[in-house]
Structures are given as C-alpha cells and as structure tokens.
Structure 1
Amino acid sequence: MSSAVQFSEYGTPDVLRVVDVPPLTAGPGQVRLAVRAAGVNPIDWKILHGSMRQVMPLDLPAGLGSDVAGVVDQVGEGVTAFSVGDEVLGASLTPSYAQSALADPTALVAKPAAVPWEVAATLAGTGITAWEVLHKLKLSAGETLLVHAAAGGVGTFAVQLAVARGARVIGTASERNHEQLRSFGAEPVSYGKGLVDRVRAISPRGVDAVLDASGRGEIPDSIELAGGPTRVLSLVAFDATSTGIQIHMTEPGAGGPEALRDILALIEAGRLRVPISGTYPLDEVAAALEASRSGHPGGKLVVLPV
C-alpha cells in the first residue's frame, strides 16, 4: 500500500484525507513514479471546491494534483524513453498528491541534478502555460509586454521568459511584490484606478501585447494600451470573449516537453528563478490549499510526499 490525499465530497480543504491506496501498475505506454514533490496550483482547490465539476466531472473519492517530479520505479510495455531510476518532471496521469503516480512519458522530461525537487515539481502547470501564451502572443525581442498579476504563478514565469526573449516587461502587482519583479527584470506598476496613466508614464506609446492572469477587470485598459484586442490574452476573463481578445485554457496534465526544456535551460543558466513559498507533507495538504486559495502565497507551494 501507499499513501495518497483524497476527498469523498466536494468542499473546503478540511474534507481532505490521507488514505492508503492499492499499488499502481504502469500500463502499456506508461511509467510509474515514486513522487518526490508535487506542485500546488489554483485549479486544485477549484476542483476540490466543485467549481470545475461541469468541465471536469470526477468519480469520488478522487485525488488532486498534476504537476509532479519523481523517480521512475516501473516502466510499462513499449516505453523506451525512460528507465527505472531516472529522475523526471512534468505532468502525471493520476493525482500527484500521493507517494506514487502514473505518467505518460511524452509529458515528462529528465530532471537535471542541479534542479531541486521542489522547483522541478512547479514547472509543468504554470511554466508551460506561460511559455504557451507568449508563443500565442508572438512576443519578440524589443517589444513591450504588460503582465497583469506579474508576481503570481503564471506571471512569475511569463515575466522571466519574456525578459529572456529580449522583451521589455511591465508588470502589475501589489506594492509588496515590486522589488521581486524588479529582480526578475520587470518594471512594476500598481493595480487599480489610473493604471493606463501609470503605464503610459513609463511607456508613452503603450504596449505591444498584454497577458492578463489577474481577472480584476483590466481588459478595457489592456485593449486601450495595446491599441486593440488582437494581442491581448487572458487566462481568466472568460466573460470578455466578445471584445475580441484571446482566451487561453490549459488542461491539467497537458504536456509540454519543449517548454519544460527551455525553462530548465534558463534555470540552469541562472536566468530564471522559481520562488518557493512553502513545502508541505501529505498530512498538511489542506494548509497548502488554503495558502493557495488566499491568492497571496508569495511563491510556489509544493507537496513533499516523502
């Protein structure tokens, strides 16, 4: 038997339990991982709360988590990409808040020895999303990108990936996060009324593209600053599709080896940092989700099953 976090009813984090579960077996085209770390994402507490049940129906009891880093301890029929003992990271097929998880090898990449487990476990969700949206926005060197919620999970990656591409980045964030944004190479501005004036004060011609990871109603300002909706993309403003902006949705567990390799190369080169706000054992997952739900963790949250 191994341990996993599960819930038998939708609700707040206090419905979570650590339970013993039967051993997983890697099927054809799968690998089994001994999970060393699992990243916590906002979608996890949304799933737990039940707000995702229309698009992601679950058979209860169910588990949580899809970002994973671990050691391959079983290889299914037909798998040649990895062997037992390989250290990997990416997305899991089964819930990753557990001591064991199954994964599709095409959603995994090798973990560099210099990258800590807790960092490795944070890359698949927010990192891939940030990489994908910059690709959708066709951001190039010399352009100016405005990122809303620049100090958040996706924002932290998007800012650093954009800077690495040679773009100028302006990031909206609370005052307490401005120094961190500067350390990432961004120019911070505060949220709220007067945003357009604050952005134009440092970028008179406006911006070339906008990534909205905030959902605080900045879409009209974003369209004005970008000179139209074409290169404005939101992760959260689903009610703004009529404006002509782009809406990006990433499915949990979606693969992205190219994105992960690019991110890992930047981490190894010292050009991308992943702040870790807290690590939690399995029996403290409820606290991790509460911290995530607060919206102000100050860095990535990670579950360490062993």
Structure 2
Amino acid sequence: MTRSVLGILGGSGVYDLPGLEQLREQRLSTPWGEPSDLLRFGRIGTTDVVFLSRHGPGHRIAPSGVNYRANIDALKRAGVTDLVSLTACGSYREELPPGSFVLVDDFIDRTFGRENSFFGNGCVAHIPFAHPIGPRLQERIALAAQAEDIMVHRGGICVCMEGPQFSTLAESNFYKAMGCDVVNMTSMPEAKLAREAEITYAVIAMVTDYDCWHPEHEKVDVAAVVRAMQANRSRAQRLIMRLAADFPEVHESCPAGSDRALDDAIVTAPEARDPDLLARLDAVAGRVLRPGSKDLS
C-alpha cells in the first residue's frame, strides 16, 4: 500500500494555498532543471499536501517557458501520488460562462515548442494515454465541490494551445465547431509527463472568458481575465481544502492505469539504453528501471 500525497499545481490566479499546517518550504533540483518555484509541504487534516506554483512568484513564467519536466519530476521526488492542476481557461460553450469550474476529462494538444516527454533516444517508452484523467481523483474533486456547494461541470474536452497569444477568431470558431469545451495554455505536456511519472492527474479548469467566438465578447481582455481569476481564487482554495480534508490515506489505484503506466512501456533493450538518460529517469521511472523490475526486456 502507498500512502497518498496530494499535489496541487497552482495556475493563473492561485499562487499559494492558505491553510496548510506544519508548513515547510523546499527547493528541489532535478536532472531536468529547476522547477517553477520552491515546493510547499504541509498537511490538511491527515493528508500530506505538496503545493507548487506553476508560473512562479509574481507570475513571471509564461506558459511556454514553464519547465514542465522539472515540475513533474520534483513532485514525483516529493512523493506525490495524485496531482490536481488548477488552470485558467476560455470557454467555447454558452452554458460555461466566466466563473464556471470544469472538470475536463480529455485534451487536444496544439502545443509545439515544449519538451513533452522524459523519454527519448537511449530509452524509448510509449505510454497509454487514451484516458488522461484519473476518474477516481476526478470523482473525489466532484464530491468535494458538492460538499462545499460549488458548482462544477463534469467532463469536457480542453484544447491546449501554445500561446502566449490568445486565439484568432478562426481558431476559436474551429475548436468550438469541433466540439471542444474549453481552451488553455498549460495542460500539455503537463498531463503527458504526469502519466509518464505514474502520477494520477486531474484538472480543475476555471473559466475566465469566452475566448473570442462569442458575438458579445469578441475580445479577450487581460484586465477582465485577471478579475475573473481573482473571483475564482477563494472558491478554488476552498475546494482544494475540502478535497484534502476528505482524501483517502492510502492511494487508490487508478482505473485509467496512471499509476502503472510504465508497465511494458519501455521498448529499448537493456544493453542499448543510455546510462546518462537512465540516471535522469531515477525518480520518474525507477520503479521499472531498477534491477529486477518488470519491463519489456
């Protein structure tokens, strides 16, 4: 049995987590570089919690400048088993106005300038990713929202765009017509890397605007987005506090297989593996790469 450690990635507008008890802060170095910020360790009730601000102090890191590999590696080293990502997003649905919370369950990755895997030449791995969200973790978020009387919308497709520019009108109309629900700039490659690190992942997408498809909201205004983020902050923090307070002490196995994602995923023969890359994978893939571990070899 593995003890649960709940990780929280604070996105736009959520840069800290008040209420953490026994708080301590630590900056972890990783083989992939420095994380966005120091990690904040604490407890909520009996649950161990690790908080990391994705954009760093003062929102100094742009979506494309986030070192996603370092962030996920650091959270893995901190023992995180379940990771909740808070993210601002635009809405493609009239029924998802600014202020809505959406528990998305799928993604379309439109990023192109980011390192999106821990693996590569010297150690090739192919992970299952059909269902990127941990359904039991998402269900616990929904139950926490219900307990706090916070409305959340279950399910939805999130387009992750490169940014930092907002969408063109053509892009906005295209993704709306394709049946997407929200758009953001940070879920990819974050979700992919969490799966490679065998961390169960879920997203709370907080709507700040209608992107630019809406005839009455044709321009995404930063000032309005910031106001919406500020309005969302207290509810998001309250939701996380409830989630942590009710979280199970023992990590629940993931029906999507997130916590066993590397089983049979590594295809490079042991004698062909790059020792330098293997050393960098110590935290992420140590479970399957240590001598005697089960992998495709």
Q: Is TM (by shorter chain) over 0.5? A: no
TM-score (norm 1): 0.29
Question: Rg: which structure is higher?
Answer: 1
